[in-house]
Amino acid sequence: MAGEVLYYRRNDTVILECDKLSNTTIMWKGHANDLVYAIGRKISPNLSVSKKERLSIIHDEAKQFDLKIERFSLEDEGNYRCVRYGISTTIKVKTFHLKMARIPSNLSVDREDIKHTVYGFLNHPLNLTCKVIHGIPEGTLQWRINNKTVNEGKTPLTYKIRDLQMSDHMKNYTCVVSNNFTKYILEHTVHLFVYSKYGNGQVLFYNAMNKFK
């Protein structure tokens, strides 16, 4: 069934807009069994108590019959249709499909330590791989450096550094997951520590000032 897909978080207030096109009464219906939610300004008495007490019709203007759902829950997911009549009794249906939004979780970077550091070797390649358990809707995963997006895609998302330099030492890389529906952004930042080999192969560490310890 075609219609606008809308995402809401638990306990959100939902307002579905619908205006009359003629003098015929508007009817709000939904779900596969064509359940009637409201006729005109009256909420159906046949709804469950938990549903009925959270529904109302906003009727501030002569043509306005918006359906209001308070404390949005899983019970409210599904299709909602505003059935109205236009000129010459033509039926005009405005459809909404409501879904429960869920925030993403477990955003992490492979091989990071407890201080969110990833280690690599000078003049060697390094792959930074970000993973997330996506929310609903899925959203977009990005790698950013200094707020500039350098890679974008699905999880797991890898940003490839071909040849590590000392200029990469202690540089921050941020993995970001976001979506345009819930306006939710989750970020996770790691920084690089670059090793360098000299002489007999002993590994020496560089600090943030590029000096030997």
Q: Which two three-digit tokens encode residue 73?
A: 């829950």
Using alpha carbons, select from 117, 106, 192, 111 the residue that is nearest to residue 141.
106
**Residue 197: pLDDT over 70:** no
Per-residue model confidence as pLDDT tens digits over 107-136: 999 999 999 999 999 999 999 999 999 888
Same domain, 72 and 9: yes
Residues with Cβ within 8 Å of 23's Cβ and at least 6 positions away in sequence, in order, are: none
Same domain, 94 and 120: no
Same domain, 149 and 181: yes
**Residue 186: pLDDT over 80:** yes
39 touches 130 (CB < 8 A): no
Same domain, 109 and 51: no
**Spacing of C-alpha 116 from chain mean position:** 24
Q: Which domain holds residue 176?
A: 105-205
**Distance, CA of 107 to CA of 184 (rounded, Å):** 14
Residues with Cβ within 8 Å of 2's Cβ and at least 6 positions away in sequence, in order, are: 95
Same domain, 153 and 95: no
Using alpha carbons, select from 189, 149, 195, 150 the residue that is nearest to residue 168.
195
Same domain, 137 and 196: yes
Question: What CATH number has the domain bearing residue 173?
Answer: 2.60.40.10
Starting at the edge strand found earlier in the chain, the sheet holding 55-58 runs 14-16, 66-69, 55-58
Same domain, 10 and 81: yes
Residues with Cβ within 8 Å of 174's Cβ and at least 6 positions away in sequence, in order, are: 143, 144, 145, 187, 188, 189
Q: How confident is the model at residue 87 (pLDDT cuts 50, 70, 90)?
A: low
Q: Which of 54, 72, 100 is the last residue of a domain?
A: 100
Q: Which of 84, 100, 116 is the last residue of a domain?
A: 100
From residue 126, alpha-carbon distances to 15, 52, 96 in Å are 49, 57, 46
181 touches 136 (CB < 8 A): no
Confidence at residue 13, expressed as pLDDT on a 0 to 100 scale: 96
Same domain, 126 and 95: no
**Distance, CA of 171 to CA of 202 (rounded, Å):** 24
Structural domain total, the chain: 2
Q: Which two three-digit tokens encode residue 45?
A: 């008495």
Mean of pLDDT over the chain: 86
Per-residue model confidence as pLDDT tens digits over 29-65: 987 677 899 998 899 999 989 899 999 999 876 778 9
Average pLDDT value for residue range 18-24: 78
Same domain, 78 and 111: no
Same domain, 68 and 119: no
How much is the pTM?
A: 0.70
End-to-end Cα separation, the chain, in angstroms: 66
Q: Which two three-digit tokens encode residue 157?
A: 């998302």
